[in-house]
Structure 1
């Protein structure tokens, strides 16, 4: 089965799938995040993160 990169709009408590797919890429590491496991993102930057660790890295840079 071919996996496809999804296009997502990140909202405060949820996300909206703009273009269907199976995964997104972490903005920090480039790791694949399946949509079922997508839990961390930044609404202002519209970026997904693999885990809380990557989200903290971005938050510390501000």
Structure 2
């Protein structure tokens, strides 16, 4: 079950080229493509330009293909 964006646990991040800045602490972010929760410890793919997180390289590629 997916959580609503305002529920506890959702982190708010500012994505940068090589890392991210935590604006609001939480346990996870939401994948911009699939809507799945991504635990912060597993976050490896994001777009600085779009300020979006992706669950895997597949979702990141899909997001780039739709731009």
TM-score range, shorter chain: over 0.9
Q: TM-score, normalised by structure 1?
A: 0.92
Q: 2:14 aligns with which of 9, 13, 31?
A: 9
1:28 corresponds to which residue? 33
* Partner Cα separation in structure 1 for residue 63 and residue 9 of structure 2: 26
**Residue deviations 1:17-48, cap 9 Å, x none?**
00000000000001010000000000011000
Root-mean-square deviation (Å): 0.9
1:55 corresponds to which residue? 60
Q: TM-score, normalised by structure 2?
A: 0.86
* Partner Cα separation in structure 2 for residue 45 and residue 23 of structure 1: 18
Count of residue correspondences: 60
